[in-house]
Amino acid sequence: MVCATWSGGANDGGQLFAFQESVGGTVNSTLLEIRNLSVHFESRRGKVQALRDLSLKIGPEETLGIAGESGSGKSTLAYAIMRYLSANGRITKGEILFMGESLLDKDQNELRKIRGNRIAMVYQDPKSSLNPSKRIGHQIAEVFQIHQSFSRKEAWDRALGLLSLVNIPDPAFHAEKYPHQLSGGMQQRVVIAMALSCGPNLLIMDEPTTGLDVTTQARIIELIGDLKRRAKASILYITHDLSVIAQVSDRVGILYAGELVEVGVAEQVFHSPIHPYTVGLLAALPRIEVEKQFKPIRGKLPDLTNIPSNCIFSPRCDHGDETCTNQSAQLQEVEEDHFVKCLRSKEAFTSQASEAQSLPFRKGNPSGQPMLVTDHLKKYYSETNYIGKWLGFPIPEVKAVDDVSFHIRQGEVFALVGESGCGKTTLGRVITRLLKPTAGKVSFYKRRPSGQEIFGTDEFRRSVQIVFQHPDSSLNPMKKIGTIIERPLKLLGFSRPERSKNARELLELVKLDPAYLERYPKHLSGGEKQRVAIARAFASDPEFIVFDEPVSALDVSIQASIITLLMELRASRDLSFLFISHDLSLVRHIADRIGVMYLGKLCELGPVGKIFQHPYHPYTRALLSSIPVPDPSISREAIRLEGSVPSPRNPPLGCCFHTRCPDKLGQICEETSSPLILVDEDHWVACHISLEELQKATISGRIEIK
Amino acid sequence: MSERKFPPSVTKSHYLFIQNPALVIGSSILAFIILVSLVGPVISRHATTEQHILKRLQGPSLTYLFGTDQYGRDLLSRTLLGGRTSLILGLGAVALGLVLGIPIGLITGYFKGRTDEIVMRFMDILLSFPSLLMALLIITALGASLSHAILAIGIANCPGIARIVRSATLSVRNEEFVFAAEARGESHFYIMASEIFPNILPPTIIEGTIRIGFAMLIGASLSFLGLGVQPPHADWGLMIRDSREYLFLSPWPLICPGIALAVTIIGFNLFGDGLRDMVGGSE
């Protein structure tokens, strides 16, 4: 096996990829072809048919995006190509042809030569892809030494070249670092650099940006776009995120329950989707640019151990008829290079989906009385190092929430947004009195008419509830659903028959079958578990509920149904919500007002419409510009944030954003922190830049149509 | 809650064996040992203390299936009854260890902070003694008997169990259902007993099972040193001690209790390992 060799100087990223094409001859229009691939896994429940009869092609220098929800088999596909399936997985049918050769006929030795050299893979979690005990430069150089027997010096130079190729600033400096010293985005860049080190013909990326923040994600997407041009490699990009797929792919395939239901050129699939599942997925996605209602897809994923012979999507399809329940669908070409697996593909389904409906949810009451007021709230974590404390060492404190003052009004949905580690979860927990504040105060007032402040713990617990992020963790696995929902009712002193009656009603409220009362959490899907968690929170008939990322662990089609449920409940019961989320598109649709957090501080606060239309704070602007749009013809340039988020253990002096701010003024930003200033009615911003300047600034790279 | 599906040619027990041989072998050994030590002494032909001075140190024969010891007592009966003592000692000591260790681990893991720091440092001190030495210390203070041996080994087991329980508690403590319980105003006791405890039970049971074997070993060591079960009671450690001097005249008084002890300990360890695999596999 010959690896492509580099030419060009070490730090000359641009020319690095002018490598000699040294791989023998076969230059045809397909690099990878998969024909009728079927994979199943042996499990205790029987054979899980993870992929069935899947065919696709990737051309040279083409990026194919594969989108699918959990359980669609998208990772199985990646592992099957790499021949990395776990011991209980078996390829039962089909062929995988890579550069004209069948990968299924290769033995382990031949495969090892192909992996890394010709096909490289980038995984979701960069931490586990890097060796924590080696400097990153050495990790990359090692590949050159082993695979291409370069000298130490030469290999090191090439490693530096690769680091600059993936836009790591000051490669010589960062090459000496250990993985844990780099931020998540940088780590992912290093992993990508390693994957590129042998000049692979095919790069498989399995959810490479899923664990990253939106501003970091924007830069990785930018990098991938860059590499497409420079690295001359084909990319198979696998993700659940349609917006990201739209931004990176040339062609897009939609995977559902192990079958490819639609595949075509990105513009075709996103602009004129034909398969009802694709249409449903796109409709379920909250969009940032349009206030269109997003609709859930009803039903749930079929049991993959027991595949029906008819169309796999028919139980969830709104457009099916008798043929769909009797026949199996085949992938057929509907227009040039656009294939759809639907029995009724000739009918146009799209017309219904594009009907723009305005959202029924919003019901802001800007003059409502404040219900919750936080006053200079602080929460510092200190390490529990008692020995150190006794000896008088200074114990560093993590400033998770640092001097936050805001209020939430009666009947309002207030959203806290920010990237991971900004302190939004801690703030939510301090507000619900799960954590004691280090300083400052949270006051909570009763609903009208009395409007009195609530002091007593019991009354507070009844009135304020919280719903958490992880459906798997928020229900005790050892208890039946009935017990879980009845427990708060028991605390409130309901009798046994009242409790079981109320529990049934609560389940109906969240649209679950009362038969679920007798089940254990492990028998429920993620969305159903989250519904139970919501029912539990509603049991005490609260006035105010904190939702801590309630849908971020769920698939898009389910997310929409949970959000619709929440907003219906809010409207019917006149509740106030604090909605903590990192998903700005979602927040745009449901919130009345939002607060943007960065490093434990609020940097902008105001009505959702105003902030999305005209963000003032440089950080809000960067955040908004980084949101990927699920439309391949819309591209916008994200405002680049340099560096990584500083450690909250040692936040920068002055304005906490000054280390990354693209519009930094100078000394004043480094020395004094800015308070929240009123810029417009109900709209506050914490920035030193003058209001006139801020007013002029727009999201640079505002939505442009190509 | 659907019925598990197995490949058609494989029966359920066969499948379990393929999946988890340690569990199947371990539980078979234990079932055998427990059954035999419960029923054996009742149906055996010779009383354990019945001496036949003329028939001392005999090899296995039809009358004495395992042979006789230095007083001409039936080795089979004594080994069977010794099993009962060893099982009582092992189970009793670990039960005591669990009773002491679970609350300590739960409380320290739940409250964290200063309580945790102080209690666990004290546990560390206890842990730093070898458990045999620890048991010896307690026995020396209290005097030698079976119940004191159980007490001593139980106390020696407590810090280790407390550590396991604490670390399990620490991870469950951060589950969202615990926060949800706090948010609806549950008492600390309820959260520990009803939310956390059921979830730490599986690892605790596994730990306990593996510890039973070791507790029996320490019990046998104590008896061997003359600090555990007192003669003329039958106990494996004691039997080994007594047989030492006659080893070259007849090895059977040593071999019988030795093998019994080894097999039982292996049984408990296999069972514990199997349990761990089973719990780990289902999640």
Higher pLDDT, B179 or A697: B179
pLDDT digits (tens, 9 = 90+) for B61-70: 777 777 777 7
Q: ipTM value of the model?
A: 0.80
User: For residue A391, what are the contacts with CB-CB under 8 A and spacing of at least 6?
Assistant: none
pLDDT digits (tens, 9 = 90+) for A35-59: 999 998 887 778 888 899 899 999 9
Q: Of B117, B179, B184, which has the smallest distance from its Cβ to A491's Cβ? A: B184
Q: Of B1, B5, B199, which has the smallest distance from its Cβ to A46's Cβ? A: B5
Of all residues in chain B, the percent with pLDDT exceeding 70 is 92
Question: What are A637's two structure tokens?
Answer: 């340039």
User: Which of A43, A90, A472, A478 to mutate to test binding with chain B, by most B CBs within 10 Å of its CB?
Assistant: A478
pLDDT, position A448: 66
How far apart CA A154 and CA A145 sit, in angstroms, is 9
Q: Quick check: B94 pLDDT over 90? A: yes
Cβ-Cβ contacts under 8 Å between A and B: the total is 62
Question: What are A331's two structure tokens?
Answer: 């992938």
pLDDT, position B3: 39
- Which residues partner with A406 through β-bridges? A374
User: For residue A411, what are the contacts with CB-CB under 8 A and spacing of at least 6?
Assistant: A363, A364, A365, A368, A574, A575, A576
Interface contact A474-B183, CB threshold 8 A: no
The number of angstroms, rounded, from the C-alpha of A171 to the middle of its chain's C-alpha atoms is: 29
The segments of chain A whose pLDDT lies below 50 read 1-27, 350-358, 700-706
Strands A544-548 and A464-467: parallel
How far apart CA B27 and CA B38 sit, in angstroms, is 16
**Upstream peptide bond of A662 is cis (omega within 30 degrees of 0):** no
Interface of A with B in 526-565 (CB under 8 A): 533, 536-537, 540
User: Which chain B residue has the Cα nearest residue A540?
Assistant: B184
Q: What are phi and psi of A210, to 5 degrees?
A: -65, -35
Interface contact B185-A458, CB threshold 8 A: yes
How far apart CA B265 and CA A303 sit, in angstroms, is 44
Cα angle for residues B259, B262, B266 (degrees, 5° grid): 135
pLDDT, position A604: 93
Interface contact B176-A458, CB threshold 8 A: no
What is the three-class DSSP state of A314?
A: helix
pLDDT, position A335: 82
Contact of A46 with chain B, judged by CB distance below 8 Å, is answered with yes
Contact of A305 with chain B, judged by CB distance below 8 Å, is answered with yes
User: pTM to 2 decimals?
Assistant: 0.82
Place of tokens 């405002």: A639
User: For residue A314, what are the contacts with CB-CB under 8 A and spacing of at least 6?
Assistant: A320, A324, A325
The number of angstroms, rounded, from the C-alpha of A286 to the middle of its chain's C-alpha atoms is: 13
Mean pLDDT of B218-235: 83
Chain B residues touching residue A540 (CB < 8 angstroms): 184
Q: What are phi and psi of A409, to 5 degrees?
A: -90, 160
Q: Quick check: B135 pLDDT over 70? A: yes
Interface contact B2-A540, CB threshold 8 A: no
Q: Are residues A239 and A67 in contact, defined by beta-carbon separation less than 8 angstroms? A: yes
User: Which chain A residue has the Cα nearest residue B173?
Assistant: A473
Which DSSP category does A702 fall into? -
Interface contact A45-B5, CB threshold 8 A: yes
How far apart CA A550 and CA A559 sit, in angstroms, is 9
Residues of B with a Cβ under 8 Å from any A Cβ are 1-2, 4-5, 112-114, 117, 175-177, 179-180, 182-186, 195, 198-199
Q: Are residues A386 and B114 in contact, defined by beta-carbon separation less than 8 angstroms? A: yes
Chain B residues touching residue A469 (CB < 8 angstroms): 176
pLDDT, position A235: 93
Q: Where are the alpha helices (DSSP H) in A539-681?
A: 556-573, 584-590, 608-613, 618-626, 667-671
Count Cβ neighbours within 10 Å for each residue of A622-654 and write b for 16 or more, e otherwise: bbbbbbbbbbbebbbebbbbeeebeebeebbeb
Place of tokens 């924590």: A132
Chain A residues touching residue B112 (CB < 8 angstroms): 384
**Residue in A455, A403, A410, A404 with CA at minimum distance from that of residue A433:** A455
Which DSSP category does A605 fall into? E
What is the three-class DSSP state of A135?
A: coil
DSSP string computed for A462-509: HHEEEE-S-HHHHS-TTS-HHHHHHHHHHHTT--HHHHHHHHHHHHHH
Q: Quick check: B257 pLDDT over 70? A: yes
Interface contact A476-B176, CB threshold 8 A: no
User: For residue A399, what are the contacts with CB-CB under 8 A and spacing of at least 6?
Assistant: A378, A380, A423, A599, A600, A648, A649, A651
Contact of A473 with chain B, judged by CB distance below 8 Å, is answered with yes
Of all residues in chain B, the percent with pLDDT exceeding 90 is 27
Mean pLDDT of B159-166: 93
Cβ neighbour number for residue A113 with a 10 Å cutoff:
14
User: Which of B121, B177, B178 to mutate to test binding with chain A, by most A CBs within 10 Å of its CB?
Assistant: B177
E-assigned strand segments in A99-169? 101-102, 119-122
Interface contact B179-A476, CB threshold 8 A: no
- Which residues partner with A120 through β-bridges? A203
Chain A residues touching residue B5 (CB < 8 angstroms): 44-46, 305
pLDDT, position A535: 93
Interface of A with B in 411-470 (CB under 8 A): 429, 432, 434, 457-458, 461-462, 464-466, 468-470
User: Which of A41, A476, A487 to mutate to test binding with chain B, by most B CBs within 10 Å of its CB?
Assistant: A476
Chain B residues touching residue A517 (CB < 8 angstroms): none
Min Cα–Cα distance to chain B from A503, Å: 16
pLDDT, position A29: 77
How far apart CA A446 and CA A408 sit, in angstroms, is 12
Interface contact B185-A473, CB threshold 8 A: no
